[in-house]
Structure 1
Amino acid sequence: MSADVRTENAPYDDINITPMLDLAYVLLVTFIILTTASVQGVKVDSPKTEAASSLAKPQTRAITITRDGAIYLDAYPVTLDELSQRLAVMKSGNPALPVVLKADARTAYQKVTEVLEIAKKLDITEIGLVTQRATR
């Protein structure tokens, strides 16, 4: 009987690392999901403001206007008519469709107003303008 007590109180020769590996895998998957979930788009030079803030929400649609006036919806080039049709379809699926408008600082103002008119016609009320924080 004393032999059984000795084996129960004997020190462990190895450490069970399975719980640590489980945690590492969960953290790895979380990191991968968060880094790939960022909004994809076209690179533009946004105007700078003092009150720049993050407007990204899940299911937010990004409209980008480049310096030369090209319009993109979620990184895909579209015309104004195509933009109106696609936003109408998205709006029917999500009545509170949030939209972010990202335009180059040197974009013709007319293009921005045309896109805003489309949003107004479709009754898209959640629209944000992307800017960069001004450096002092």
Structure 2
Amino acid sequence: MQVGGGKKPYNEINITPFVDVVLVLLIIFILMTTAAVQGIRVDLPTASSAQVLEAQKSRVIAVSNDGTVSIDAIPVSLSELESELRRSIATTPDLAVILRGDRAVQYDRIMQVLDICSKVGVPSLGMASTRPPGGA
């Protein structure tokens, strides 16, 4: 049966809109996964006189509550941390290291990281904290 003055009946599905929707969803998925990988989640302790440090020429060492050590969001062992810090100091002599230790992490793990920083000669070391509610 032909519909309307000699036109061919429409019996195929147009998938172009479906492909457009799938590509948009793929782009959204890619953007959301890259935005989610910003660093290691660390529950920082509170300090009443916290100062803001510049993030230029700095490396961030995070120690999570399970004791995992990471440098710039990449998990490393303590020996890898030492060699990475030595490499960074060789290329950037005025390197600043920011230590982000979870408030629930064992004190011994923080001391191990501080010992490595001292051994390799980190010129500037800061410990990250959050400001208390209502703090300036």
Aligned to 2:97: 99
Q: CA-to-partner distance for each residue in 1:54-111, whole Å, 9 max, x for gaps?
A: 2132121000000000000000000000000011001100111100000100110001
Runs of 4+ displaced beyond 6 Å:
none
Task: Normalising by structure 1, report the TM-score.
Answer: 0.68
Provide the alpha-carbon RMSD of the alignment. 1.1
Aligned residues: 97
SS in 2 for 1:118: helix
Aligned to 1:123: 121
Q: Percent identity between the aligned chains?
A: 32
Of residues 70, 79, 82 in structure 1, which corresponds to 2:80?
Answer: 82
Report whether the alignment pairs 1:51 with 2:49: yes
Q: Structure 1 residues 73-82 or 56-65, which shifts more?
A: 56-65
Task: Normalising by structure 2, report the TM-score.
Answer: 0.68
Q: Once the 2 structures are TM-superposed, how far is the Cα of residue 132 of structure 1 from its aligned partner?
A: 0.5
* Counterparts of 2:84 and 2:109, CA distance in 1: 18
* Counterparts of 2:122 and 2:60, CA distance in 1: 13
What are structure 1's unaligned runs of at least 5 residues?
1-39
